[in-house]
């Protein structure tokens, strides 16, 4: 697609991969909205990059509907969802807290589904659209302490395949990007530590991948794109 014609909503757009993706797409000519739960963080990010801030929680059905409606109303159209909102909680299975498990699935799976559903209703009616699910290399292989996060990304990968099978007939491209470790606030938010060396991926690499996926002519699409650091 021509990014000058893109009307984009990036969930989890206030920081990290979401913010950098919004920045890159805005610079390429797209009209971009970013969503998130933290009003102050979101509005500051929107001012920084020239985006529309839409405060809301992707796991709340009414919020998902309202955020999509706000983008359509403000931009006059809507044709790209970047389903980026997500976080992790990590612990051994025998110690895993159910509240943490449910919270991860509420955002990473339920939230992705609610945003995709509200978006797909508009896309199908328009007979065009794009959904980019930001999954992870954790969607392909389990690891210790990953009961919630890895399982949520496996689930997102399954949803990507289902939506792709359903929506292709409506000219809606459903794509998935799988970052390996990226230097963001993800680990700090999850209660862990990250060795942020210069060799590791930054959000810019993932934003570049998403831009490239979207810019392919609409007659084709990249189903899945995995991004690794060259020598971490």
DSSP state of 50: T
Number of H helices, E strands in the chain: 8, 7
Nearest residue to 129 via CA among 116, 142, 138, 120: 120
pLDDT in the model for residue 6: 98
> Which of the four CATH numbers 3.40.50.720, 3.40.50.150, 3.40.462.10, 3.40.50.2000 does domain 3-227 have?
3.40.50.720
- What pairs with residue 52 in β-bridges? 33
Token pair 């470790």: residue: 181
| Residue 131 · residue 78 · CB < 8 Å | no
pLDDT in the model for residue 119: 98
pLDDT in the model for residue 78: 98
Q: H or E stretch including 122?
A: helix 112-126
Dihedral sign (CA 126, 85, 25, 232): negative
Tell me the per-residue pLDDT of 105-132, one tens digit each, with 9 for 90 and over. Answer: 999 999 999 999 999 999 999 999 999 9
In this structure, what are the phi and psi dihedrals at residue 194, rounded to the nearest 5 degrees? Answer: -135, 135
Q: How is the chain split among helix, strand and coil, in percent rounded to 5?
A: 50, 20, 35
| Residue 228 · residue 140 · CB < 8 Å | no
Nearest residue to 87 via CA among 60, 106, 62, 115: 106
The number of residues making up the chain comes to 232
| Residue 12 · residue 59 · CB < 8 Å | no
Pairing of strands 31-36, 129-134: unpaired
Question: Which structure tokens are listed for 67?
Answer: 């955020």
Is residue 149 part of the annotated active site? The answer reads: yes
pTM of the model: 0.96
- Residues of the chain scoring pLDDT < 70: none
| Residue 87 · residue 104 · CB < 8 Å | yes
Domain map (residue ranges) of the chain = 3-227
Catalytic entry in 149, 154, 186, 221: 149
């Amino acid at each position: 697609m021509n990014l000058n014609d893109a009307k984009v909503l990036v969930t989890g757009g206030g920081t990290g991969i979401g913010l950098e993706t919004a920045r890159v797409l805005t610079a390429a000519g797209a009209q971009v909205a970013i969503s998130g739960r933290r009003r102050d963080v979101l509005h500051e990010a929107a001012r920084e990059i020239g985006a529309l801030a839409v405060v809301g929680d992707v796991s709340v059905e009414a919020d998902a509907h309202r955020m999509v409606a706000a983008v359509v109303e403000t931009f006059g159209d809507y044709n790209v969802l970047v389903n980026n909102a997500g976080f992790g909680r990590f612990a051994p299975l025998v110690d895993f807290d159910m509240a943490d498990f449910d919270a991860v699935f509420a955002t990473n799976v339920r939230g992705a589904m609610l945003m995709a559903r509200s978006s797909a209703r508009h896309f199908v009616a328009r007979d065009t659209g794009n959904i980019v699910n930001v999954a992870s290399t954790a969607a392909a292989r389990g690891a210790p302490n990953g009961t919630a996060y890895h399982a949520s990304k496996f689930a997102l990968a399954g949803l990507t395949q289902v939506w792709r099978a359903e929506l292709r007939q409506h000219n809606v491209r459903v794509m998935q990007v799988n970052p390996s470790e990226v230097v963001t606030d993800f680990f700090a938010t999850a209660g862990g530590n990250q060795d942020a060396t210069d060799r590791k991926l930054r959000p810019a690499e993932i934003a570049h991948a998403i831009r490239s996926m979207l810019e392919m002519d609409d007659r084709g699409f990249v189903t899945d794109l995995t991004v690794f650091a060259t020598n971490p």
